[in-house]
Structure 1
Amino acid sequence: MYRVSRYRPWLLIIALMLGGTVLCALLAGRYAQQRALDDESLQVRRQLGLYAQTLQQRIDRFGTLPQVLALDPDLHQAVSHPLTAAERQRLNLKLAQANNVTRASTLTLIDKHGIAVAASNWDQPTTNVGEDYSYRPYYQQAMAQGSGHFYGIGMTTAVPGYFLSQAIYDERGAVLGVVAIKIELRALEQEWLQSPDIVLATDAHDVVFLANGDAWRYRLLRPLGPQERNEMLATRQYADRSLQPLQARTLEVLADGGRMVRIEQPALPRPVLWQTLVLSEPQWKLHLLHDASASTAVGRSAALAAGGIWLALCFLGLFVQQRRRLAAHRQRSRRELESVLKQHAQELRTAQDGVLQAAQQADSGLSRSLAHLPQGVVVIDNEQKLVAWNARYLELFRFPTGLIRVGRPIEEIFHFNARRGLLGPGPIDEAIERRLNHLRSGRPHMRESEKDDGTVLEIRGNPLPDGGFVTSYADITAYKNTARELRSLADALEHRVAERTRDLDEARREAERANRYKSRFVASAVHDLLQPLNAARMFVSVLRGKLQGDARELSEHVDAALAAQDAILNSLLDISRLESGALKTHVRAFALSPLLETLAREFGLAADSRGLQLRWVDTRAVVVSDEALLRRILQNFLSNALRYTPRGRVLIGCRRDGGQLRIEVHDQGPGIPESLQGEIFEEFRRLDDGVDQERGAGLGLAIVERIGRLLGHPIRLRSTLGRGSVFSVSLPLGEAADVVIAPAPAVAPVVDSGDDSPLRHCRVWSIDDDPRVCAATRALLERWGCVVELADGPQAALEIASAFNVPKLLLLDVRMGQWHGPDLYEHLCGLWHARPPVILVTAERDDALKAQAAENGWGFLSKPVRPPALRALMTQLLLRHRS
C-alpha cells in the first residue's frame, strides 16, 4: 500500500505527459496536413490549367485549316464530278504538300457518299483513299451542321487522333463533300511524361484516351450504358481496344472539389490527390493525379513537433523541480570531481614521463615505440636527416651495419639503394632528386614498388608538423598474390557461368519450340479427328430417323458413344489452348445468383434421374471473373459430384472469406484418399468407384486446374473417406455498381417440321474437303426436305458457280487445304453477284473467327455438329434473310 501511494504522483505525471502529447500531436498534425493539402490542391489546379491551355492551343492551331481548305476551288471541283486518274493524282499531291506545310497528321477529301476520294497519305500502305467514312461522327456532323469534330482511332492507320471536318458547299448551299484533318496528340503524352504526376484526358463517355502511362490509357472512369456502348461500336471510336474499368475509392472530398482517392486498378501504393478540369470545347476533361504523401509528411512532422514541444514543457517543469534536489548533492559532486582531477593529474604525469623516455631513446635512432609496428618505419627531420627507425625497416632493406644512424642524410641512403637497383630504371641522379623534392614539398604520397626478388612494398609518406617526414614500408606480397589468384578464379567462374547461361537459354528455347509443336500437333490432330466424327454423327442422325425398335435403340447408343468421344476431343483441345495461352479471358463484374440458379436447374434434372437431391443456396454476391470459364469450373464440380455420389444429396453454395468469395460443391460420395488428392487434377486420372456407365475420361479436373490458374482463382479440395468431398474455387468480390447488364440473347425461332417449314425445297450448297462429311451432310439435309445442289469440295463449287444457280443457304467449312472458308465465300459471292446466308461449320476453336462470323451476321457451328442445332440455325437464318 505504501509503494502504491509513493508512485501515484509519478504515474499521474506520466499519464498527463503522454495524454497531452497524443492530443497535441493529433490536433497539430491534422491542421498542418489539411493546410498542406489545400496548398498542394491549389498548385495541382494551376498545373492542370497549364496542361489544358497547351491542349487547347494545339487544337486551335489547326481549327481554321478545314474551313480554309473547304474554300479551295480544286477541292470544290473534285467533289463536283467523278475524278480521272490524273486529277486524283494531282489532288493527292496537293493534299500531301498542304499536309507537309501545316504538319498535321492526315488531310482527307470525302465525297457526299462518305468515300475518301483523295488523301495526303495516298502513297502509304495505310492510305485513306477509297475507304468508307460515312459512319464516322465527324463526317455525319459536317454533312448535317457544316462542321464536326471527333476523337478516335484511325481504321486504316490504327493511330489515334483528333479529327476536324468542314463541309464543302456548292453555289446553292448543297453539301458536295467534306474535308477532314487528323491531328495526332501523342506529342502531348510525351510532354506529360516529364511530369512526376499522372495526367489523363477523358472524352464525353469518361473514357481515358490520353495518358502519360500505358497502364492508364483506355480506362473507364464509370460504367457505360447500353446506348453509349452501341454508339461507340457504331462509330468504332476505339476500334478493338479493350476498355477496362479504372477502380478507385474516394477517401475525402476537399473544399475546392478535389478528392483524395485510392486507386485499386491499376494499383498505386499510396492515395493520390485527384483534380479534374472540364474543357469547354471539345467536351473533354483533364485529370491530374498527384502524390500527396508530402502533405502527410508535413502533418507527421507537425505532430512530432507539437508532441516534442509539449514534452519539452513538461520536462522543463520537472527540471525546475529537480533543481532543488540537486542543491543537496553539490558538495558530494565537488568532492568526487576533485578526486577525478587528482587521478587525471597522476595519469598526465605518467604520460609525460613516457614521452621523455621515448625522446631519450630516439637519440639512439632505434625507437621502442615503433618496434611493435608490422611495417618498416623511418623518420627524418626538416633537414632531411635520419631521426628514428624500427627493426622492420632494417629487415626489409637489409642495410649493412653502421649505415643507418641518427643524423645521416637521407640522400646517402637513396644513393645506396640506387646502386642496388631499388630506385628503378633511368638516370640515378634524376630519381634521387625527384624523391628529395617530394620530401621538401611536404606532400603525402602512396605508391607500390616491386623488388627484384618479387617482394611488393606499399610505401606511404606523410609530413610532420615540424617539417620532418615519416615513411612506412608494408610488405603486401601475399595480398597481391591472393588478389591475382582471386581475379583468375573470378574470370574462370564468369566463363563457366556464361557457358551455363548459354546452355540454359538453348534448353529453354528447345522447350518452347517443343511446347509450340505439341500445341499445334494437338490442335491439328483434334481437327482431323473431328472431321470423320462429324460425318459419323450426321449418318447416325439419318439412321435414327429410318430405324425402329431395337435398331433405333442401338443407333442411340452409337450416338451416345460418339458424343462421349466428342467430349474427350473437345477437352483435349481445351487443354491445348490453355497450355499455349490461346484462350482469351473476359473478366468483368457480374451477379453470381443467376449462374448458380441456371446450374442448379440444369443439373437438378440429372440428379432426379439418379434419385439424388441437388440443393443450392442463393446469394446476392457480385464477383469479378470470366463468367463462361467460371461456369465451366462449376459444371465439372457438379458433374463429378453427381457421378461419385451413389445416394444422398449434393449442395452448392458460397462462403465469404475477407475480400474473396469461396464457391463450394459438397457431395456425399465415398471420399478421396489423401494420397490421391494431388493426382486427380492430372490428365486421365480418375477414381474407380464412380458410376460405371458414366465414368469420365479424367480430363475435367485437369481443365479446372488450368482455368483456375489462368484466372488466378485458387482451386481447393478437402475430403473425408466415407463422408464425401468438398471442391471449392475462390474468386474476388466486386461492387454492384460495376455490373454491366449484358443484352438478352436473340431467341431462336421455333423449328416447324411441317410442310411449311423453311427448309422444305430449300436449295442448299455444302462445301467441305472431306467426302465423308459431304455425303453425310447431303443425306441429312435431304431427309429434312432440302434440295442439295452441291455437296463437294471448293474446286467443284468454283467451277459451277454463276449468277443462275445462287443457293438460298450455304454450309461452308473453314479449313480446306489452300482455301480459307471466308475467302472462298467472298470469291463465290463475286461469281453469284449475290450474298446468300452462310453457316461456317468448322472444327476450328478460334475466338477471332467466331467474332468475325458474328460481326458479318453469319452462322457458326463447331464440329461435330448436333443435327438439332444445325436445323435450328438454318431455320433462323432463312427466316431472318426472308424478312
Structure 2
Amino acid sequence: MPLHRPIHPVWTLCAVLLTTAGAATLAGRWMLQHSLAEENLLAHRQVSLYAQALTQRIDRYRALPDVLALDSELRAALVSPPAAQEILQLNQKLERANGASQASTLTLINQTGIAVAASNWQTPHSNVGENYSFRPYVQQALQQDKGSFYGIGVTTGEAGYFLSRGIHDAADRIVGLIVIKIALQELEREWIQTPDTVFATDANGVVFLSSDPAWRYRLLYPLSPAAQQAIERTQQYGSETLQPLQMRTMQHLDQGGELVHWQTPALGDKLLQAVDLPETRWQLHIVHDVNSSHAAAWWAASAAGGAWLALALLVLYVRQRQRLSALRQRSREELEALLQQHAQELRTAQDGIVAAAKQADAGKSQSLEHLPQGVIVVDAALRLVAWNSRYRELFRLPAGMLKVGMPVEELYRFNARRGLLGHGQQSGSELDDAIERRMQYLRSGLPHARESEKADGTVLEIRGNPLPGGGFVTSYADITSYKNAARELRSLADALEKRIADRTQDLAEAKREAEQANRSKSKFVAAAVHDLLQPLNAARVFASLLRQHVQDGAALKIASQVEGALAAQDDILGSLLDLSRMESGQLEVRWADFALQPLLLQLGNNLGVIAQEHGLALHVVASQATVHSDPVLLRRIVQNLVSNAIRYTRRGKIVLGCRRSGSHVRIEVHDQGPGIPESLQTEIFEEFRRLETGHQHDRGAGLGLAIVQRLGKLLGHEIGLRSELGRGSVFWVSVPLAQAAASMAPVVQTQQQEALQQDAPLQGASAWCIDESAEASAALAALLQRWGCSVPLAGNAQAALEALKIAAPQQTPQQAPHLLLLGAHAAAAPVQDLYQRLCQAWGGRPQTILVGDEHDAALRRLAADRGWGFLRTPVRPAALRALASQMLLRRGDASDTSDTADTQAPAQKH
C-alpha cells in the first residue's frame, strides 16, 4: 500500500520549538503574576505589623506631656522666673521623670521658646538655656496646645520625635510647654533582622528611619520649593544632604503595592509596599525581594515547556510507530534473512569461545584496571579469565604467572604455600582444607563476603559474586587502615570513659567540699553577727540615753541621726543573721492558728510613725481572717514588705489589707511608688539588689525582699508582685486559712499596753544585770536606773559569783533582787546552773528575764518551762520596760512564796 510522504524534519522541529516556547511563556507569566500577588500580600502584612509597632511605641509616651503639663511646680516656674535652686530642683525632677519613662529627653520651655529646665541638664549637650522658638512643635503647642515634629536635635545632634503640650496658668493662658523627645532608633535595630529594607518617610517624602543606613535622609520624590524652605527654616535634618532615590514603576499591584525598578541604589526589580500612619502623616515602606517570584515563574515555564515538549514527542513517536508498522511488512523477508545470518555467526563464536577468551586476555584485563580493588574472574570450569594489576600487587605475584585458562586452584595453592590464604603458616592438611573451602564457594555459585588477615598484618575484605552465564568474580579490598583506625577509636573511647569517670569523682568531691564550706560560712556568719549585735545593742541604748541629756538642737539632731544609723545597722545585721539561719536550716518554724487583725494593727502602729516621718500615710484595712502559719515569721514577712513600700514611696499613701482567695488569704501591701520594670521584678528578690529610686537617706542594704522570698519558701507561702511604671506596686503573701477560728485574747493585750504606759513598778526596785558583754550589761543597767531601779551589780557571771562569795562569811543569805536580767551567754556553764547557784545564795527566786537569740528554740523552751520572761537580742528599751513592769506587777499580785514566780510568769518575746 502506498505511504504518505513525510513532512520535512526541519519544519517539524521548528513547529515543536515554537509551540514549546509559547507554552513556557504563558505559564511563566501566569506564575509570575500569581507569585507577585502572594508576595505583595505578605509584604503588606509585614509592613502593617511594623507600622503597628511604631505607632504603639509613640503612643506609649503620648500621655506623659499631658501629665507633666498639670504639674504645679512646672507651671509655677513658667509663670514667674525661678531661682537657681528652683531650676536645679526642676532639672532633677525632669531627670527622674525621664528615668522612669525611659524617654530620650524631657524639656520645659517658656513662652519665648527658651528651655528653662531639661532632663539632660548634666550632659555636655544640655538643652537648658537654648532657644527653640523656631521649632514647629514649640509654635504648635503655644498656638494649638499640642504639637509634634520629627527632626535632628540642634543641641544634641540626635534625631527623635518631639511631642509637646502647652502649660496653662490659672487664667487658662498658655505660658509655656513641656516637650518629650522620643528616640526611635531602636526600631531600626529590630528592622535589621528582616532581609527586606524597611524605611519611614515624612510628609515630604524624606526617609528618616531605615533598616539600611544608606537609605537614611534620601528623597522618595523631589521636594517642592516650599517644603525645601520649611526644612531649612526649622533645621529639621540639620546639615544632612537630601539625595533623591531614582526608581521607575513597572507595575501596580493590589493593596497599594508596586513593582519598581531601582536605579539608585542599583537594586533591580523590587516590590515596594507602603502603609500610612495617619496621626503623624508618615508612611512606612518595605522593599521586598521578588527573586523567589522570578524563580517560581522560571520553574513554571520550564515545567510547561517540558510537558509540551514531551507531548509533542509522544505524538511524533506515535506517528513514527505507525510508519514503522507500515514498513515492517515490506522488510520482513529481509529481516528473516538477516537473523539467520546472525544466528550462524553466534554458533561459530560459541564454538571458539575459549580461543577468543585467550585472544581477548589483554582487553578484558584492561577493562578492570580502573577498579581500586584487586579483581579476578573465573569461568564455569573454574579457570582464570581476567584480572587486574591491583590483584597482582596485593598478592605479590611474579610477572607472567597469570594466564587465561589457568586453573584457579593452582593459583590458590601457590598463594597458600606463601602463607597468603590466612594468618601464619599452615600444615599440609590445613592447607588443603583452606583451598577446598574456597573452591566450594566457587562451585556453589552463592555470593559471599569475609575478612582475611595475612601474616604481615594486612587485612583484606573478600567479596565473591556469581556471573549470569556461569563463573565467578572475586574482589580483594585492603581495609588495613580502616581496622587500625577502629582499634584506635576504641582505645580513645576507653580513655575518655576513664577520664569522664575521674572527672565525675573530682566534681563530686568538689561539691562536698563546697557544701561543707557553705555550712562553715553560715556558722561563721551567725557567730560573727551575734557578736557584733552585742556592742551594737549597747551603743543603741547609750544613744537613746544621750538624747535625754542634751538640750542643744544640733546635738539632739546628731544624737537622733546616730540612733537611726545604729538602728539601720541593727536591721542589716539581723537580716544577715536570718539569711544565715535559713541557709544552715537552723530557723525553726512554730505553726499555729491565729487571727490576723492583731498582727496588722501592731504593724500599723509601729510602722505608721515611720511612714509619717517620710510624709506618707499608712492605712490598715481590718480583717477577721484566721490563718495557719508561724506568727513571728509571717510578721517578719509583712513588716519587710511594708518597710520596703515606705522606703520607695515618695508621696501618697500605703495600704495594708487582706483579700480572700479560696482556701487562702492574700496579705497585700499597696504603694504609690515609681513602679518596678518587668525586667527587674525577679532580680529585686536577690540579695543586695535594690532600686535607686528610694529615699536617698534610707535605701536599705537590699536584703529585705531576699528574706521575704526565703521565708516564703520556708513556710510554703507564695510571694507575689504586680507593678506598673508610674502607678505603683502591690506585694503580697498568700497564707492558708485556719481550719477553726482562733479565739481572741484582747484582755491580755490591754494589760500589756497598760504595763507599757506605767513606770511605777520599776520605781525603787532592785535588779542585777549579768552578761558576758560588759557593754551590754552596762547599757541595760543604765536603762533600768533611768526608770528608777537600783542596780547593785552589772557585770559578767564571774563578777556576780565573787560578789556572793564576799557576803558568804556573814553566814546570812543576801537579799534577792526584785529582777534578774540574765544573758544567754552569761557563763561557760549552762544558764540553769548559774541561776540555781544565785538562788541558793540569795535564799529566794527573783523575777527573771532571759536575754538571748530569738530563733534559739532551746532558750525559748527554757524560758517557757521556767516561767521566765524572754527578750531577743538586741534588746529594745520599750520592750524591756514593758516586760519588766509586767513581771514586777505579777510579783506583787502573787503570794509571798518565792517559788511561785517561776511557775506564773510566762515567757515573753519582744
Q: How high is the TM-score relative to the length of structure 1? A: 0.46
Q: How high is the TM-score relative to the length of structure 2? A: 0.45
Q: Which has the larger radius of gyration?
A: 2
